[in-house]
Each structure stands twice: as structure tokens, then as C-alpha cells.
Amino acid sequence: MAAEKAPLPNIESTRRRLSHGLDLISRLTVGEWLDMWLAGKKGRQSAISRDESNIRVHLKPRIGHLRLDRLRVSHLSEMFEAIAEDNVEIAEGNAARRKAFEDLARIPWKGREPRARRKAMKAAIADMEPYRRIVGPATRQRVRSTLRAALNSAIAQQMITFNPAAHVELEAGKRPKALVWTEERVLHWQRTGEKSSSVMVWTPEHTGLFLDHAADDRLYALFHLIAFRGLRRGEACGQKWTDTHLDAGLITVAKQLVVDGWRSTRTTPRPTRARAP
């Protein structure tokens, strides 16, 4: 039996590729190109690790099998719609697991029947999916940013002529608004366990209470420095003695520690700045 022939390529697509001097018989997939692009990428290790994660977790599993020169905006729209649908399942699974733990906490410890119920409930929880993180708007924007950069590189190397990642529409990935821990918000959190924002800011009084509580801690000087001079955590932990001038009361923030997976690396913060007392 004769082998099935592949369909003829689109005339306009072939003409466009020919006019740009591109390879007319390339069968490179998106996944293969992403691996090649990542292998040659230079820059901060934290940024490279973020791109690697986006490629491994989102891009290759969903569009890695597609041919690079046939990637379309519709493919990316379908990918992000599928991510949104998965978010619904993740939220439902997390809610079910959370409720199971709440039900378990309400079962008495003593008695044969309660012990049997607790055992059954623990077995049911063990069979549930673990807690998973929602892929929020900001993360989806970063996934697109990784793909867009990789496709721009492919255009620069005359492998493709169009970047669909530049045209797919996504929800804006806005950072959460930081809110101050007012007395009303503290009471609401104590009563319901709900925070008004994922980013909550201490008042000066809260900061003072924390520093008083940590006065005998070996890292008190570090906490004090962060609180009164606004250093980021990585900057404070990465501060070198050669950039610390105790007699002058001056530090130069020249390095920071950045967590990359399970490793920490020392890099140059942006921007580098000096802080006086």
C-alpha cells in the first residue's frame, strides 16, 4: 500500500517564505526550537530559570508538537483558554481538599467510631490531588513573554516571518494592590481568616512591635536595617562586609542573593544604590 502523501503547502505561505529566503522544507517543531533558543540564551540565571519553567510546564506540553512555521494566533488562544479551564479544576480541587481537612478537624479524637471516621477521611485526603497553584493573569503574561522572545529570535534567524505571540490577547497581569493593615482589616482577618489583599503592609506600630519581639534574636540587626533603610530581603542577606562601613554609618548595596530553584546565587541588584543612616 502506497504511503499517504502530505498535503501540499499553502501557496501564499510558500511565496512569503521564499521571498524572505526561508527554508521551504523545515519541519522544526515549536518544542525543538524552544530547546535550542533556551540553550543559547544569556543573561541573569533567574530569568533563564523562569523561561525554562514556562517552557517545561506550559509551552512544550501544549504547543511543543506544532511545527514552528505553522504556529498561529489561534493555537495560542486555545492554549491560554485551556489554561483558564484548568484553573477552574484546580480551584475546585483545592476547595475540596480544604473542606476535607475542615471536616477532619471537626471529628472527635476519642471513641472507636470517630477514629474509624478519621482514618477513612485521611485515606480520602491521601487520594486527592495535592494543592496546586492557579496560573493567574501575571503568570500567563510571563508565559507569553517567554514565547514572544523565542519567536522573535526565530524571526531574526530567518526561520519564520510572523510572531503570533505578539498578537494573542490576554487579560492584563496587574500586580496586587498593597494595603495597610488598618485596625478594621486586622479585625476582619482575625474573624474570617481573609486578607484584604495578597500584599499587606505593616504600620509603623506593627513594625515596632515586631522589632521589640525580635530584640534578642541573632538577626535583630538585619531586621532593623531592613525596616529602617528599606533593603530588599536579597540585598540584606547578600550584604558583604567589604561594602559595610560601620564607622561611617554607611552601606553600599552592591550585591544581592537570588534564589534559583534550590540554590542561591549572588548577583548585582538593579539599580545599585548607597544608603546613608
Co-location of 150 and 258 in the same domain: no
Residue ending a domain, among 149, 174, 199, is: 174
Number of domains making up the chain? 2
Co-location of 88 and 57 in the same domain: yes
Any domain includes 187: yes
Co-location of 145 and 226 in the same domain: no
Give the pLDDT band (50/70/90) at residue 193.
confident
Co-location of 156 and 27 in the same domain: yes
3-state secondary structure of 174: coil
Quote the domain boundaries for residue 124: 15-174
Over residues 82-127, the pLDDT tens digits come to 999 999 999 999 999 999 999 999 999 888 998 999 999 999 999 9
CA dihedral 100, 102, 105, 107 (to 10 degrees): -70
Over residues 228-277, the pLDDT tens digits come to 988 888 898 888 889 888 888 888 888 888 776 667 778 888 664 444 44
Q: Any residues with CB less than 8 A from the CB of 89 and at least 6 apart, and which?
A: none
Contacts 24+ apart (CB under 8 A), 265-273: 265/45, 265/46, 266/238, 267/44, 267/45, 267/46, 269/232, 269/234, 269/235
Co-location of 93 and 25 in the same domain: yes
| Angstrom distance (rounded) from CA 9 to CA 24 | 9
| Angstrom distance (rounded) from CA 68 to CA 34 | 10
Supply the angle between the helices 220-229 and 204-213 in degrees, to the nearest 10. 170
Co-location of 187 and 102 in the same domain: no
Co-location of 65 and 156 in the same domain: yes
| Angstrom distance (rounded) from CA 245 to CA 252 | 8
Any domain includes 8: no
Per-residue pLDDT, 277: 47
Co-location of 20 and 59 in the same domain: yes
Any domain includes 247: yes
Co-location of 71 and 160 in the same domain: yes
Give the domain CATH number at 28: 1.10.150.130
Distances (CA, A) of 87 to 53, 80, 83, 128, 143: 18, 11, 6, 16, 15
CB 253 within 8 A of CB 269: yes
Any domain includes 260: yes
Pairing of strands 250-253, 244-245: antiparallel
Residue ending a domain, among 174, 208, 242, is: 174
Co-location of 121 and 53 in the same domain: yes
| Angstrom distance (rounded) from CA 137 to CA 178 | 17
Co-location of 32 and 161 in the same domain: yes
Rounded to two decimals, what is the model's pTM? Answer: 0.65
Co-location of 85 and 201 in the same domain: no
Any domain includes 28: yes
